[in-house]
Structure 1
């Protein structure tokens, strides 16, 4: 199979038939063998019924339904596990991502040999205050931290080689950082392509302003995971040793000063350096213990499932 299109969704019943018609018109014209994977992330409207009807009428349509809302990252992960195409394209179901971009994204993977092509919504049709400005700040921070020169990390329209999506593990809210996950897995041939962004036609956005706060927290998490996930002692142990040495140096200074330089000076407990010394050594020991516990946790990871699939269609 040449192409898999993975579409995570939540309560997008109104747009699904129109999206399907648009996708099939583009893909049939390109004469590609393809499958459409709709991942219903616990919708409470009629989205699953719409997916089931599409799957019954077209064998190229497949659906996966979660037991409840687990999040976009888990939906993408389920879609990636099920995808069979040599090239995998992800897009949102709200009609803001244009299927007309798919042929060029496919070409960039198959002919230009990129591992991943990330869409760039150069011109957006979202609120400037609630989405555009926070998005610019978020992407600037992501570029600085990750070293990837992408303008739009969070664009849902992306194309991948199959081996990329079968290698990376998308969890938590890490769908924002799939290019960084791919880079960390050794796929360095990453680029971006300006894509057309559509105004939302039906319903309301499922993401609030809090997603940017979560995004920055995830950015810190992925920075830590990238550098220290397999060796937490390297971070916490190093900081602990530094703090302990700092505290010990204060203690040594106070002891030498009291014994040999100013024996008649005020009591050690009356000097602020004494409390700085004690506090630094305590923090140092705590950081070292945190690193040790992190090593134990890393070696006994819990592999319980992150989502529950309620139903499948078309498989």
Structure 2
């Protein structure tokens, strides 16, 4: 990917993914607008309606009608928060991108400090930390375990990966692709893309005022699987032969060694005139055979994966380029 040379048209883009939040939207909108006016920011607010079944879209249309800085995108069905954020990231134009949930548990009063940390302190990304939470133990305990596992696997040391209130430099969100449930791991993906100036800010967590939570405990299972997925793809996505080929060679080697040992044992017993049995009568031989076959398949899988990767790179060249100098006259 090549970085854009054009300057963002507004200072702050606020991206708000939502699902059935019609009661909170007017209050959230007014709160954001007040903060923007008090600080003199040029801004835009982008609401992403993730297939709501209530009046959320009607409210967004009304807000956009009376405020030209408000835009909305509506999905035909519920695709999830990750899809909403990915769509929003591609549609915004601000120098600094703020994401927040629509349920009023995130405070827009945090925006000025987040903006300052990006523009003045040089962070690529600042993640909120809801140090004091107003959630039940059934949610807070799994969250702590999930955060600890993510820190251990990713080497990104944040206390609250899943906090919806985050700030980014525009190019950070423009140069990433998220899917599944990967919105929880945006700081991890950003670091692996080279945006490693990641900060954290303690933010206010407010009790939910309207509606009920849209997430269940299954999100922690799906989230952990996504973490393993992005960890594997980051490490081996561009060199699958290093993983599958290495596994294949090791499995083929051990399977072959077991087979040779069984043959050598039989020949030694024949030489020593001791009782013996055929190699094919030993269950260990069939285990070794399975390991050899699996090793061959792993190796071939890595080889085929390398072919796909090389073709993909030729077609897309989707590495993140930080900057370009000296060739503008040739464009």
Does TM, normalized by the shorter one, top 0.5?
A: yes
Question: Hey, what's the Cα distance between the residues in 2 that align with 1:293 and 1:67?
Answer: 37
Q: Could you say what secondary structure the match of 2:24 adopts?
A: helix
Query: Per-residue displacement from partner, 1:153-187 (whole Å, max 9, x unpaired)?
Result: 11110000011111111222110100011111111
Whether 1:156 aligns to 2:164 is yes
Equivalent residue, structure 2, for 1:56: 65
Structure 1 position 300, deviation (Å): 6.4
**Alignment check: 8 A CA contact 1:250 1:276 kept:** no
Whether 1:12 aligns to 2:21 is yes
Equivalent residue, structure 2, for 1:211: 219
Question: Hey, what's the Cα distance between the residues in 2 that align with 1:251 and 1:68?
Answer: 56
Equivalent residue, structure 2, for 1:121: 130
Equivalent residue, structure 1, for 2:303: 292
With over 3 angstroms needed to count, the CA separation of the structure-2 counterparts of 1:299 and 1:42, relative to structure 1, is farther
Question: Hey, what's the Cα distance between the residues in 2 that align with 1:40 and 1:221?
Answer: 27
Kindly tell me the number of residue pairs found equivalent between the two proteins.
301
**Alignment check: 8 A CA contact 1:7 1:39 kept:** yes
Question: Hey, what's the Cα distance between the residues in 2 that align with 1:100 and 1:258?
Answer: 79
**Alignment check: 8 A CA contact 2:98 2:167 kept:** yes
Residues 112-261 of structure 1 aligned to structure 2 (within 5 Å): 112-129=121-138, 131-261=139-269
Q: Could you say what secondary structure the match of 1:172 adopts?
A: coil
Structure 1 position 112, deviation (Å): 0.4
Q: TM-score, normalised by structure 1?
A: 0.92
Question: Hey, what's the Cα distance between the residues in 2 that align with 1:292 and 1:127?
Answer: 49
Higher relative contact order (CA 8 A, sep 6+): 1
Residues 253-272 of structure 1 aligned to structure 2 (within 5 Å): 253-262=261-270, 264-272=275-283
Query: Per-residue displacement from partner, 1:212-269 (whole Å, max 9, x unpaired)?
Result: 0001100100111110111222111111110010000001111112123455412223
CA-based RMSD of the aligned residues comes to 1.5
Q: Which runs of 5+ in 2 are unaligned?
A: 1-9, 316-331
Residues 68-87 of structure 1 aligned to structure 2 (within 5 Å): 68-87=77-96
Question: Hey, what's the Cα distance between the residues in 1 that align with 2:289 and 2:87?
Answer: 50
Question: Hey, what's the Cα distance between the residues in 1 that align with 2:115 and 2:189?
Answer: 21
Q: Which runs of 5+ in 1 are unaligned?
A: 304-315
**Alignment check: 8 A CA contact 2:35 2:109 kept:** yes
Equivalent residue, structure 1, for 2:294: 283
Structure 1 position 275, deviation (Å): 2.4
Equivalent residue, structure 2, for 1:309: none
**Alignment check: 8 A CA contact 1:164 1:182 kept:** yes
Question: Hey, what's the Cα distance between the residues in 2 that align with 1:218 and 1:299?
Answer: 24
Q: Could you say what secondary structure the match of 1:20 adopts?
A: helix
Structure 1 position 63, deviation (Å): 0.6
**Residue in structure 1 matching 2:285, options 274, 287, 294:** 274
Query: Per-residue displacement from partner, 1:175-200 (whole Å, max 9, x unpaired)?
Result: 01000111111111101111111111
Question: Hey, what's the Cα distance between the residues in 2 that align with 1:296 and 1:212?
Answer: 34
Q: Could you say what secondary structure the match of 1:285 adopts?
A: helix
